[in-house]
């Protein structure tokens, strides 16, 4: 079976993973130094967020040179060495590709500015004499004016001009970028904003009402997203990828309509895509079961494996979300009470749930340590354009705080030169080193569960069968001989048949064997 059908993929946000050169920012040398940790954690692949030359107006999602590594992370030679080292550690490596927009420092955009209105250089972007009513995903209008009076489109920050995908040079350039990294041995690509590359011809206004829809909720074909023509791009990309054995795409699309989502996963397009319906779902048995059923049905139509995602570098960490009254992720909020102990308990159960479901699993760096969202960063250190543009949304820095590896004080062995975002002092109890020595820690749970998952023939890709254990319980069997049960209710429930393999909490209530609330168990049957 192809590796990507059931891979456990660990997301590395390089600025915050590990700092090898002591400048306070994570880098490739840091990643390399932690490969044994990732191997021992039991993940199959790494996905590295953008590491290309970038002014970092959006944490590297503003790329000025797709063929070069940003000096803050290292050199192209370091990247090549890392790819080899990942492979030697028995893992694979997926890199990010950012095709919707470049940086405003990209030579193409600089040339477009210099060449002026009506020039062929401007035709690679969307320049107009007047803007339409589109809004940037980061707040404010999606258009900025240049000195000669023309406007250019940017669905994200003004420093991220959108490329014109009707232009043949844009298409050719990205196919060549794919080959450049494939030739260096990467095992695949995570495609940024995969549903937005193509815009409706003529760039018509969006209907006014939709301007108010929060960014993580909108859906369906609109002038600036999910255009039918985008699929031709991925068919062409797939032909490129198929020239190399065993490579895979994972698409980032916030498209919730199952039929439209599945179109991206047809056999001649992308292999996999992030399952944001699962990430957004409440900690609620009925809602989760619906999402799982819908996910399985959606993917079955096209024969693609589902993915199970709980967190990433764009959303509030799930240990925090799950400790709230409203456990859904609708949009970022920062002023609601959180019971972090409850959130962590649920996060442990959610980890077992996600790893037992059919398909591939994503682990965002720090999930395995149970890191919470950090809300009290000083405004002055916040870098996210989401915060800089609006200020009301604190942005995404709080889920990007550097990893605490060891020691008793910041930067917790992240590096020797501090950390670009301050880590909370109480993270001394959450360091990887401390958790490794504690069999009850989140890290020990992840390591055990991933080891069992790897050895258990029933896990990974394949079917599941629901078991009925009452309203608040999600339970399913996987053949041969495996059961997963998650208690999302408020009362303990009897343990299902079988020999427990892994549990997220102690399997007792009032001294009797039971599956307590907010806990999950894997059993061999």
Residues marked as catalytic: 192, 243
Shortest Å distance, C-beta 461 to ligand NOJ: 26
| 193 forms part of the interface with ligand NOJ (CB under 6 A) | yes
Shortest Å distance, C-beta 364 to ligand NOJ: 11
- The secondary structure of residue 15, as a DSSP letter, is G
Reduce the DSSP state of residue 347 to 3 states and report it.
helix
Shortest Å distance, C-beta 274 to ligand NOJ: 9
- List the structure tokens of 311: 């967190």
Site track 198-237 with ligand NOJ (rule: CB under 6 A), x = hit: ----------------------------------------
Render 256-308 in DSSP notation, one character per residue.
--HHHHHHTTSTTS-SEE--HHHHHS-S-HHHHHHHHHHHHHHHHHHTPPPEE
- As a whole number of angstroms, the distance between CA 113 and CA 147 comes to 9
Shortest Å distance, C-beta 156 to ligand NOJ: 4
Site track 152-171 with ligand NOJ (rule: CB under 6 A), x = hit: ----x---------------
Shortest Å distance, C-beta 96 to ligand NOJ: 8
Asked if 465 and 477 touch (Cβ cutoff 8 Å), the reply is yes
Asked if 157 and 62 touch (Cβ cutoff 8 Å), the reply is yes
Shortest Å distance, C-beta 252 to ligand NOJ: 6
- As a whole number of angstroms, the distance between CA 419 and CA 227 comes to 41
Residue closest to ligand NOJ, measured at CB: 61
Nearer to ligand NOJ, 32 or 62 (CB): 62
- As a whole number of angstroms, the distance between CA 460 and CA 398 comes to 31
Nearer to ligand NOJ, 313 or 324 (CB): 313
Asked if 95 and 52 touch (Cβ cutoff 8 Å), the reply is no
Query: How many residues make contact with ligand NOJ (CB under 6 A)?
Result: 9
User: Which residues partner with 96 through β-bridges?
Assistant: 190
Shortest Å distance, C-beta 15 to ligand NOJ: 12
| 58 forms part of the interface with ligand NOJ (CB under 6 A) | yes
**What backbone phi and psi angles, to 5 degrees, belong to 523?**
-130, 150
Nearer to ligand NOJ, 157 or 269 (CB): 157
- As a whole number of angstroms, the distance between CA 357 and CA 339 comes to 27
Which residues make Cβ contacts (< 8 Å) with residue 495, sequence separation at least 6? 485, 507, 513, 514, 515, 521, 523
Helix (H), strand (E) counts: the chain: 14, 20
| 192 forms part of the interface with ligand NOJ (CB under 6 A) | yes
Find the binding residues for ligand NOJ in span 281-340 (CB under 6 A): 313-314
| 134 forms part of the interface with ligand NOJ (CB under 6 A) | no
| 456 forms part of the interface with ligand NOJ (CB under 6 A) | no
Nearer to ligand NOJ, 52 or 61 (CB): 61
| 61 forms part of the interface with ligand NOJ (CB under 6 A) | yes
Cis peptide bond upstream of 23, omega within 30: no
List the one residue out of 433, 430, 438, 327 whose CA is nearest residue 371: 430
Nearer to ligand NOJ, 314 or 397 (CB): 314
Nearer to ligand NOJ, 140 or 303 (CB): 140
Find the binding residues for ligand NOJ in span 231-290 (CB under 6 A): 252
Nearer to ligand NOJ, 87 or 392 (CB): 392
Find the binding residues for ligand NOJ in span 93-122 (CB under 6 A): 98
- Interacting residues with ligand NOJ (CB under 6 A): 58, 61, 98, 156, 192-193, 252, 313-314
């Amino acid at each position: 079976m192809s590796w990507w059908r059931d891979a456990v993929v660990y997301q590395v946000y390089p600025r915050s993973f590990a700092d090898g050169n002591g400048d306070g920012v994570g880098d490739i040398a840091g990643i390399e130094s932690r490969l044994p940790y990732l191997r021992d954690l039991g993940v199959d692949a790494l996905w590295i967020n953008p590491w290309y030359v970038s002014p970092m107006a959006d944490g590297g999602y503003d790329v000025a040179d797709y063929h070069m590594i940003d000096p803050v992370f290292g050199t192209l030679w370091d990247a090549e060495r890392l790819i080899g080292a990942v492979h030697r550690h028995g893992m694979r490596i997926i890199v990010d590709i950012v095709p919707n927009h470049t940086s405003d420092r990209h030579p193409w955009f600089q040339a477009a500015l210099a060449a002026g209105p009506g020039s062929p250089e401007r035709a690679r972007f969307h320049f107009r004499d007047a803007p339409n009513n589109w809004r940037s995903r980061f707040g404010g209008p999606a258009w900025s004016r240049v000195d000669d009076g023309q406007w250019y489109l940017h669905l994200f920050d003004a420093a991220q001009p959108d490329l014109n995908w009707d232009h043949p040079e844009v298409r050719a350039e990205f196919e060549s970028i794919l080959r450049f990294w494939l030739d260096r041995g990467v095992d695949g690509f995570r495609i940024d904003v995969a549903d937005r590359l193509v815009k409706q011809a003529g760039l018509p206004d969006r209907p006014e009402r939709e301007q108010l829809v929060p960014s993580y909720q909108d859906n369906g074909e609109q002038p600036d997203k999910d255009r039918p023509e985008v699929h031709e791009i991925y068919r062409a990309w797939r032909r490129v990828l198929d020239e190399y054995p065993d490579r895979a795409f994972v698409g980032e699309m916030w498209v919730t309509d199952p039929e439209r989502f599945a179109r991206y996963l047809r056999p001649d397009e992308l292999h996999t895509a992030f399952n944001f319906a699962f990430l957004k779902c409440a900690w609620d048995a009925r809602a989760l079961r619906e999402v799982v059923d819908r996910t399985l049905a959606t993917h079955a139509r096209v024969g693609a494996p589902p993915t199970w995602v709980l967190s990433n570098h764009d959303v509030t960490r799930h240990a925090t979300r799950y400790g709230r009254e409203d456990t859904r992720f609708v949009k970022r909020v920062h002023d609601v009470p959180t019971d972090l102990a409850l959130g962590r308990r649920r996060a442990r159960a959610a980890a077992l749930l996600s790893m037992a479901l059919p398909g591939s699993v994503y682990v965002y760096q720090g999930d395995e340590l149970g890191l919470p969202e950090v809300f009290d960063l000083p405004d002055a250190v916040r870098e996210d354009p989401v915060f800089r543009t609006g200020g009301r949304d604190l942005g995404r820095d709080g889920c990007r705080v550097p990893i605490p590896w060891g020691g008793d004080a910041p930067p917790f062995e992240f590096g020797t030169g501090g950390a670009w975002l301050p880590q909370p002092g109480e993270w001394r109890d959450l360091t990887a080193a401390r958790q490794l020595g504690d069999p009850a820690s989140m890290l020990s749970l992840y390591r055990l569960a991933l080891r069992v998952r790897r050895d258990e023939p029933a896990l990974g890709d394949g079917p599941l069968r629901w078991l009925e254990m009452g309203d608040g319980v999600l339970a399913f069997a996987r053949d041969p001989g495996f059961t997963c049960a998650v208690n999302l209710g408020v009362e303990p429930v009897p343990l299902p048949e079988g020999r427990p393999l892994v549990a997220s909490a102690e399997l007792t209530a009032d001294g009797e064997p039971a599956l307590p609330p907010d806990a999950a168990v894997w059993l061999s049957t």
